[in-house]
Chains A and B, each alone.
Chain A
Amino acid sequence: MNVLLSWIREFVDVAEPAEEIGRRLSLRGLALEGLEAQGDDWLLDFDVTANRPDCMSVAGIAREIAVVFQRPFRAPHTRLAGAVRTHTAPSMTAPAVSIRIDAPDLCRRYVGAVADVRIGPSPQWMADRLTACGVRPISNVVDITNYVLLELGHPMHAFDHERLAGPAIVVRRAADQETLTTLDGKARTLRGDMLVIGDAARASAVAGVMGGAASEVHSGTTRIVLEAAWFKPQSVRATSKALGLRSEASMRFERGADLTAATVAMARAGELLEQTGAGRITAPFIDVYPEPYAPQPVHLAQPRIAGLLGMAVPEADVERILTALGFQATRSETGWRVIAPGWRVDQHRDVDLIEEIGRHFGFEHLPSTFPGVQQAPQPSDPRIARDQRARRIALARGFSEAISFAFIDARHASPFLAGAAPVALANPLSETFAVMRPSLLPGLLAAVSHNRRHGRRDVQLFEVGTRFSPSGESRALALAWTGLATPDHWSGQRRDVDLFDLKGVVEHLAEAFDAPLTFDLPAAHDLAADVLVPGRAATLHLAGTAVGVLGQATPAVCDGHDMPGTDATYVAELDLDALSRHSGALRMAQPLPRFPAAVRDVALLLDEHLSAAEVRGTILSEAPDTLVSVVEFDRYQGTGIPEGKVSLALRLTYQSRERTLTDAEVDTATDEVVGVLHISLGAVRR
């Protein structure tokens, strides 16, 4: 809200510089957003919060200044009370218009007055003030309605009397599909729930939003009907929104106008008409006001003030503040009985009053205290510690943390849907943010691509975040790795990352979550089959449920993110919710073994299509319980190995908790295992 300091000074004697006024009001709830010199005057721009339509006016801001600086306020309601009385007194002059409210639920008051006018330009001082406040001067009559709106915050409208059929004013709901051309020249189609001001024949204004072109005041207008009314905020808001039409009037009505100010505004308009020589109100105000303002008194218990604020406010200050703001506060046994003025549409309860008292007494007087603890803290969301554990492992393995937008391009989401529908937004900001991510991988691949396009060949990133599907949310960890397997070093050989580098990290994670993951060939409908290179892809299972993927991202998926170059990018994604659902049993410590272990290395010649898992599985099922570990330590194909075969070397470790194992029994056990491997898998010991 832009206000001129000279205009403010018509309501309150405040000699302080504009800057100090702004600074002090900022600490009392009206934040100064801008300050600009206008000749020898100042334009102050205040940020008025949505609950204070009364401060969308010069008088409203002046009232706040008067309270802050403790100066008398020249209230328009008081100053114009005499004029209102004169204009509403019974008179012999017949009003030249009839007014009827057909929708009293949406229009609680309508004040109309007929004035004879000579249309011309406004005096310079008025045009200057309007211009400074961002309103374009049009003609003396229209300018007066805008001047009153800015000064008192009460919107007004002027109709050309001659162009009102009847002449009559009918406040009614529009007919469905009724049309009206508004002042901005646009034809509007109305809905049945919209309020209009009509004449005897048709709609001539959208109530509280904008006037109609047909009844517009023009250069030849000689008689007008002035309107000062009260329209229901929700109705004006809905209409303005539906029509996509906002005006200075609608912004005030939708926040709530002062029901008691309609006649005051009309009296001020009459005064200005005469003062500027634009004309004269010729007949008494017609005030259709079926249910006058009757505010509910609010009881303000004195102890409640300190109880809510945590600071005591002296009684004298309570009364000073409330009275200066226009409240009527009368002492009661335990506090005050308070009646709010018509312009304070934000006042409903005692806490509203306490806010007024607190802010004008000054939040700077609040002490700093701490809430006492009455019980042990409730447990935090277990996902926080869990996610932190996942992060720690990823960081320790060299992955930096990414955070991506949860909405992505539908094109990027589609390969990751695995047959499900995307969770789309009804009103996305753009194509780029159209659907909620079904997986963290598209965002991570976009980040890898961004880094590669900015000169980084080696990229290791992870993200912990939420994924969305038509059945709801799930939290996942995703990893992406491309470029070198270990950082460049003067001593070493360079090697690019491969699948087993990333698989090792996933194995670490599985171990940390106590989750015995299996790495399986993807089935045809699996996500892994859609986005990973065949032969370098695994679906991760936990107790029979798919909980993630691991493998090399396909060139098609990478190209979708404009990934430069042809280097392989390995990715993995793990459902953390599924992982944490599984783990949980408290692990008991095991005593250290007291007897030595015996180790046997076995080299086998195998069919190259046989998986290590099958070999390991056979060994574990055939060997005695004393076999405590099987580790593949070498795999070789080439010179000396027949075509179609592979040499696989395994280290078998035996250990007993009861005794030292003899060489003979360990050898026998190993021979027996090799024998079974030969029979069932065709393995030959080398």
Chain B
Amino acid sequence: MRINPSIGPDRARAVFDEELQGITTDAALRDLRHRWLARSGSWVAGFMDLLAAAAPAEKKALGRGANELKRHVEQALGDREAALAATKRPEGAVDITLPGRQPSLGFRHPLSLIREQIGDIFSRLGYQVLEGGEIEDDYHNFEALNMPEEHPARDMQDTLYLATPVPPPAVPPPTRGRAPRTPQPLTLLRTHTSAMQIRQMERHDPPVRLVAIGPVYRRDNLDLTHTPMFHQVEGLVVGRGITLADLKGTLTSMATALFGEGQQVRFRPSFFPYTEPSAEVDIRCIRCQGAGCAMCKRTGWIEILGSGMVHPAVFEAVGYDPAEFTGFAFGMGIERVALLKWGVEDIRLFYENDLRFLEQFGR
């Protein structure tokens, strides 16, 4: 609009506000400032001229109106100037929305993560963590565990044997128990990490407090839930007065650490040759919280491990007095924990090493 102070300060203010609206550049803002505030020829200068010529009766009101307009214009221009400055890049600015330069950082294997977590849980509870050898002799894998030759329980774990035995590792011979004093050649792939526990007991007096972690092997065909190699963690506590209730407390605490606070656990009687009494442990289905779903076969519970009180025959094999000592033991598949924890539907994914899979579990 043409500069026309005769419309009065109030209408002029509306004109200014409208003109300010469209300003987006510094140049336009400079022009606007000139048009409204310049010493001569501007809206404000026009009002000053009007004021000088005004009748004494109108002078007071017009003066106040003109001053208010000037203050408003200065204030609004200042605000807009600051706002425009804020959107502007400073000298030498970069586009901070571009992606950062990430140093490459690898991903942990999910089984390795669980394995470490379990090791940490039990280290904190004062257990020693052992790994042991993956090829074993028949005595330590079966016989010492109350599974003599022709025992039906051997069918529970179909074994992979070596075509040619491998010489035993050069370790000091056992100091106690029934183990052959000359080390036996290693003939099979261990079907569980229990063999490690026997080897430890043969060389150490009670109390014992250990977990054995590592790969184990069974002659199972690959399918959604089976692999011929998998990872196991087994715990063993031996001492005076160790009870099944101690096992329950320990495993409940482990389940909570693995699956979250408030995780419910139940014990079901079962059978293993190396424990008596034996129990299988279920956790409340982590998908349906017990309501019943496909994952828990509508029972609300999911089996996660086998456990029990160490069988006296096992103590006798390692030379511990079963009248003096009791102990508990448990064994759990690490893949199974990973399957449940992350909802993985095919166990074979753990062994394909597909980066699209591995990159889902954090570093």
Contact = CB atoms under 8 A, between A and B. Distances in A.
B250 interface: yes
B129 A384 contact: yes
Contacts of B215: 406, 466
Contacts of B163: 423-426
A399 B252 CA distance: 35
Nearest to A351: B276
Nearest to A398: B104
B89 interface: no
A661 interface: no
B306 to A, nearest CB: 11
- Residue of B104, B166, B209 most packed against chain A (CB within 10 A): B104
Contacts of B270: 29, 31, 49
B245 A368 contact: yes
A341 B37 CA distance: 113
A402 B351 CA distance: 8
A472 B166 CA distance: 6
A371 B242 CA distance: 6
Interface stretch (A141-149, A302-310, A323-331): A302-310
A454 interface: yes
B67 interface: no
Interface string B85-120: 000000000000011011111111101100010010
A268 to B, nearest CB: 26
B106 A394 contact: yes
B353 A450 contact: yes
Contacts of A26: 268
A451 B311 CA distance: 47
A254 B209 contact: no
B38 interface: no
Interface stretch (B16-24, B131-139, B174-182): B131-139
B234 to A, nearest CB: 14
B261 interface: no
B131 A398 contact: no
Interface in B37-76: none
Contacts of A468: 135, 166
- Residue of B107, B127, B221, B353 most packed against chain A (CB within 10 A): B353
Nearest to A487: B104
B331 interface: no
A460 B106 contact: yes
A349 B312 contact: yes
A292 interface: no
Contacts of B241: 307, 372
Given A374-B239, A472-B167, A352 B126 contact: no
A395 B103 CA distance: 11
Contacts of B219: 427, 429
A300 B163 CA distance: 47
Interface string A454-477: 101001111000101011110000
B153 to A, nearest CB: 6
B4 interface: no
Contacts of A354: 276-277
Contacts of A491: 101
A336 interface: no
A381 B150 contact: no
A255 B164 CA distance: 32
A388 interface: yes
Contacts of B239: 371-372, 374
B162 interface: yes
A486 B103 CA distance: 7
B245 A473 contact: no
Interface in B272-302: 276-280
A448 B93 CA distance: 41
Contact of A377 (B126, B131, B162, B248): B126
B276 to A, nearest CB: 4
Contacts of B125: 370
Nearest to B186: A472
B123 interface: yes
B169 A398 contact: no
A310 B271 contact: no
B164 A429 contact: no
A301 to B, nearest CB: 10
A459 B134 contact: no
B246 A31 contact: no
Interface stretch (B6-14, B28-36, B339-347, B354-362): B354-362
A424 B166 CA distance: 11
Interface string B239-255: 10111111011101100
A371 B253 CA distance: 12
A363 B279 contact: yes
A381 B131 contact: yes
A377 B358 contact: no
Given A371-B237, A384-B129, A255 B152 contact: yes
Given A373-B126, A473-B133, A50 B246 contact: no
B228 interface: yes
A395 B253 CA distance: 30
A363 B161 contact: no
A254 B354 contact: no
A406 B133 CA distance: 13
B222 to A, nearest CB: 8
A395 B358 CA distance: 13
Contact of B152 (A28, A50, A456): A50
Sorted nearest first, the 4 A-B pairs with minimum C-beta distance are A310-B245, A398-B104, A310-B243, A355-B277
26 contacts: A27-B268, A307-B243, A363-B248, A366-B244, A369-B243, A370-B253, A374-B207, A378-B209, A395-B105, A395-B107, A396-B106, A397-B104, A397-B106, A399-B106, A406-B134, A407-B160, A423-B166, A424-B162, A425-B161, A425-B163, A447-B352, A450-B354, A466-B215, A468-B135, A472-B186, A491-B101
Interface of A: 26-29, 31, 49-52, 233-234, 237-238, 254-255, 306-311, 349, 351-352, 354-355, 358-359, 363-364, 366-375, 377-381, 383-384, 388, 391, 394-407, 421, 423-429, 433, 436, 447, 450-451, 454, 456, 459-462, 466, 468, 470-473, 486-487, 489-492
